[in-house]
Structure 1
Amino acid sequence: MTFLTGKTALVTGSVQGIGLAIAKELAGAGARIAVHGLADAALAQAAVDTLLAAGAPEARFFEADMRDVADIERMMAEVDEWGGIDVLVNNAGIQKTAMLADMDKETWDAIIGINLSGPFHTMRLAMPKMAEKGYGRVINIASVHGTVASVAKVPYCASKFGLVGMSKVAALEYAAAGSKRDGGITVNCIGPGWTETAIIEPQIIERAAKYGGDREKGIAELLAEKQPSRRTSDPSEIGALALWLCNPIAHNVTGAVIPVDGGWTAQ
């Protein structure tokens, strides 16, 4: 599985969690990895080292504030100079919960900026060059909240629904670019449900404590209201799906929203 040899992938938000898991899978298939995220020097270097160990021929950290268009443009130009972008994974995202009436303007602007406007700018800059090469993959990490809503998540749901819609438009605009032989240009979303990252760990520990520390029972209770499988996903599972979407065999899978949510959005 080295079909990404000679190709470069930019994965935003890839110093930890789902982003790092995706980057590791791409690295294992031979891709050079442009790492991005909010990180100090030690965390950034740790991510780079992890990806080199996973098989990336090269890995380098690129810094950019995804709320700042000029900063994004600078980063994209730097990655172009480093080798161009064949695979773009928009994973960087933030969330804050509050009821509609209590949501402040600053939070709205930050969530929409990072989760929706940031991917717009990376896509508009990367995709024309993908079309010139005849191969390109855009994988946008949406959420179940790009398909269904939850209370107290107005900006988050707005950003993820918008990301899904934008991805479908881009998929249509580039559907005829490239060829079956080269792999074409595809744009897809992955919609994770409950996934085991550091963000949900405190909730798991709290629920497990009710069952004498039984982690599986704690997870089942936590997920009962939303995720019928009552099982979390591991970030590596999201990574494996992202890698498959990069395969030339997936040339006709475009404009899709693929849920990894244990049946949440099937209800």
Structure 2
Amino acid sequence: MYTIDLSGQVALVTGSSRGIGAVIASRLAAAGASVAINYRSNAAAADAVIDEIRAAGGEALRVPGDVSDENAAEAVVKTTADRLGRLDILVNNAGVNRDRLMLRMTAADWDEVITVNLRGTFLATRFAIPLMLRQRYGRIVNISSVVGLTGNPGQANYAASKAGQIGFTKAMAREVASRSITVNAVAPGFIEVGEEGGMTAGMTDDQRGQVLSRIPAGHFGTAEDVASAVLYLTSAGASYVNGQTLTIDGGLTA
């Protein structure tokens, strides 16, 4: 049986106080990594994730900060490395959506999504890379979306940000591969995330049926499915996987 051991490693998961990010953080901690739980505003949710990790015997640190802000992103990375000793794994998960058809989309809708999703990925990576270069080791995983591959009506801003993450992933992989640093992306499809719903939130039964009919697997995915992919990409077993986008969509984009 193949097991993943991240003992002695430190991971920073942006936007990990809830949803997919929280599950990713918990899985990394269960594999032995010390995990920095980053969030922008919901300290109570972050503390709940930390309590769960600690109850299971793991180590977690609360690191607030909006990674789309340059000074805050630098502080988040620095605090993680200072408090936990190093930084081996960065998962760029923080993101928002402001879905509207183009005729109704405002410049503010566009700017917020691009700023959080794409600029946040850039900034967190920008400050993490020097640490990884000095260590001559690192794993970066960007949480994109199948929407960045296929597009979706009403999500021009979101699709652009997620496609941008994929391009960013490919460029960064070429820049840092010689230092044993890998940069990959995970592109989730329709994922149900507990009470938050994920991409399936707000769907009518008819809409759910229509979407399910397009998914060869015949069901929606879970946050655990996404976390499993991230866990693999951060492992030693993925050392020769670089610049790739792993779709977690039940065959939707096959």
The normalised TM-score by structure 1 is 0.87
Partner of 1:192: 188
Q: Distance in 2 between matches of 1:132 and 1:33?
A: 20
Q: Which amino acid aligns with 2:183?
A: V
- Is 2:68 the counterpart of 1:67? yes
The worse-fitting range, judged by mean Cα deviation, of 66-75 and 3-12 is 66-75
Partner of 2:248: 260
**Greater C-alpha Rg:** 1
Q: What is the DSSP-based 3-state SS (H/G/I as helix, E as strand, rest coil) of the residue aligned with 2:186?
A: strand
Structure 1 residue 71: Cα displacement: 1.4
Q: 1:145 aligns with which of 122, 147, 153?
A: 147
The normalised TM-score by structure 2 is 0.91
Q: Which amino acid aligns with 2:175?
A: E
Partner of 2:55: 53
Q: What is the DSSP-based 3-state SS (H/G/I as helix, E as strand, rest coil) of the residue aligned with 1:253?
A: coil
Q: Distance in 1 between matches of 2:111 and 2:186?
A: 23
Identity of aligned residues (%): 35
Partner of 1:130: 132
Q: 2:32 aligns with which of 18, 30, 33?
A: 30
C-alpha RMSD of the superposition: 1.8
Q: Distance in 1 between matches of 2:202 and 2:49?
A: 26
Partner of 2:157: 155
Q: Which amino acid aligns with 2:78?
A: A
Q: Which amino acid aligns with 1:203?
A: G
Q: Which amino acid aligns with 1:199?
A: G
Unaligned runs of 5+ in 2: none
Count of paired positions: 248
Structure 1 residue 199: Cα displacement: 3.2
Q: Which amino acid aligns with 1:88?
A: L
2:18–2:46 Cα contact (<8 Å) kept:
no
1:241–1:54 distance in 2 versus 1, CA, 3 Å: farther
Partner of 1:180: none
Q: Distance in 2 between matches of 1:173 and 1:129?
A: 15
Q: What is the DSSP-based 3-state SS (H/G/I as helix, E as strand, rest coil) of the residue aligned with 1:173?
A: helix
1:15–1:39 Cα contact (<8 Å) kept:
no
Q: Distance in 2 between matches of 1:162 and 1:202?
A: 24
1:134–1:146 distance in 2 versus 1, CA, 3 Å: same
1:30–1:55 Cα contact (<8 Å) kept:
no
1:193–1:227 Cα contact (<8 Å) kept:
no
Q: Which amino acid aligns with 1:20?
A: A
